[in-house]
């Protein structure tokens, strides 16, 4: 029994499917390796770093599943790359979770649009993310996702664009009142290059997207190619925003960069669809 069957934004991790089993094992194993390394090397906060690696592994996988629902291999590659990226810096877990929710809303991979109470939670979460310079791009992505969702016809049709407008005002208000005096918009040429390269890869992935064969979790209807493409484009826009603001190291967006890289790579190398043993409706 799925406790999230009435939610458009939450999913049960069903371990009957190979891709889901893989990410659970990878996240646990990655966390254990990180803990062991920090413990042996007398590093600080081994539990915190174990959590960061495990969370980055899962979030990289989950974002790739949203952006490339037909190919679990994209998610597998993203999970491994995201875990490795933690070696270069701590990921912004809240921001990356915001990206995940934004892409789920934009692509509508659950087969449902967010309920009004879920829209209220998303607006609040966007406001929370707007309080931190490193998570501004995720707040903006949530606003964009709500606007995208409101532009598509649904039955019933939730007030997604109203929520997008409210979220935009909340994000602006919170950002203005919490704007740090010492924030720097100069993250260096390497940070700029990495983030813009990710944006380019997201654009390539959007352009190369084939019509999905996967179906939504709730309605079992084929996913919209246009909506999945919009989610990929939104990922690119988010990385451009991050490149312009650049208040944080690119490692903060490691799971997102890993997912975009994996999806773009698989779009060049894979033409087959998901096998019957691991159907795409169970994305995360």
Give 272's pLDDT tier (boundaries 50, 70, 90): very low
Q: What is the pLDDT of residue 12?
A: 84
The better pLDDT of the pair 188, 157 is held by 188
Mean pLDDT calculated for residue range 256-282 = 72
Find the range with the poorest average confidence among 44-53, 176-185, 227-236, 254-263.
Answer: 176-185
What's residue 46's pLDDT? 92
Closest CA to 205 of 67, 99, 86, 31: 67
Nearest to 283 by CA among 19, 1, 6, 3: 19
The larger pLDDT score, comparing residue 104 to residue 179, is at: 104
User: Could you report the per-residue pLDDT of 103-136, keeping only the tens digit for each?
Assistant: 999 999 998 888 899 999 999 999 999 998 889 9
Question: Which pLDDT belongs to residue 279?
Answer: 44
Q: If pLDDT is split at 50, 70 and 90, which confidence band does 278 have?
A: very low
**CA 228 – CA 234 distance, rounded (Å):** 10
Mean pLDDT within 9-18: 88
Q: In whole angstroms, give the CA distance from residue 103 to residue 141.
A: 8
pLDDT (0 to 100) of residue 190: 85
Average pLDDT, the chain: 89
Which range, of 86-90, 98-102, 214-218, 234-238, averages the lowest pLDDT?
A: 214-218
Look-up: residue for tokens 């890993």? 258
Where do the H-state alpha helices sit in the chain?
Answer: 18-40, 46-67, 72-85, 93-107, 116-129, 136-150, 160-177, 189-207, 225-245, 254-269
Label residue 276 by pLDDT band (50, 70, 90): very low
Q: What pLDDT score was predicted for residue 182?
A: 66
Q: How far apart are CA 83 and CA 258, in angstroms?
A: 9
pLDDT in tens, 35-72: 999 999 988 899 999 999 999 999 999 999 999 999 99
Per-residue pLDDT for 275 more than 50?
A: no
pLDDT at position 280 over 70: no
Check whether 179 has a pLDDT greater than 70.
yes
Query: Which range scores top for mean pLDDT: 103-117, 145-159, 180-194?
Result: 103-117
Q: How far is CA 178 from the centre of its chain?
A: 25
Tokens, residue 166:
């409210």
Residue 86 is predicted with a pLDDT of 95
* pLDDT score, position 214: 92
DSSP letter string over 214-277? -B-TTT-PBPPHHHHHHHHHHHHHHHHHHHHH--S-GGGGHHHHHHHHHHHHHHHH--PPPPTT
pLDDT at 269: 86
């Amino acid at each position: 029994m799925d406790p999230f069957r009435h939610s458009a934004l939450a999913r049960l991790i069903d371990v009957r499917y190979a891709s889901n089993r893989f990410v659970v094992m990878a996240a646990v194993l990655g966390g254990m390796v990180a803990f062991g390394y920090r413990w042996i090397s007398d590093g600080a906060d081994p539990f915190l770093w174990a959590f960061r690696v495990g969370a980055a592994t899962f979030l990289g996988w989950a974002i790739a599943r949203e952006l490339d629902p037909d190919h679990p291999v994209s998610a597998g590659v993203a999970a491994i790359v995201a875990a490795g990226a933690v070696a270069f810096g701590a990921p912004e877990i809240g921001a990356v979770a915001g990206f995940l929710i934004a892409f789920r809303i934009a692509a509508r991979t659950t087969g449902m649009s967010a309920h009004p109470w879920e829209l209220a939670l998303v607006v609040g979460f966007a406001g929370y993310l707007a309080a931190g310079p490193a998570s501004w791009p995720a707040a903006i992505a949530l606003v964009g996702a709500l606007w995208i969702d409101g532009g598509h016809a649904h039955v019933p049709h939730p007030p997604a664009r109203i929520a997008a407008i409210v979220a935009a005002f909340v994000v602006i208000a919170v950002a203005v009142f919490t704007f740090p005096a010492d924030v720097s918009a100069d993250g260096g040429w390497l940070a700029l290059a990495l983030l813009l390269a990710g944006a380019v890869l997201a654009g390539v992935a959007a352009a190369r997207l084939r019509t999905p064969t996967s179906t939504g979790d709730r309605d079992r209807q084929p996913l919209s190619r246009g909506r999945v493409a919009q989610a990929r484009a939104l990922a690119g826009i988010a990385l451009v925003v991050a490149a312009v603001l650049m208040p944080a190291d690119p490692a903060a967006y490691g799971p997102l960069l890993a997912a975009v890289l994996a999806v773009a790579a698989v779009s060049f190398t894979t033409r087959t669809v998901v096998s019957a043993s691991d159907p795409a409706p169970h994305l995360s």
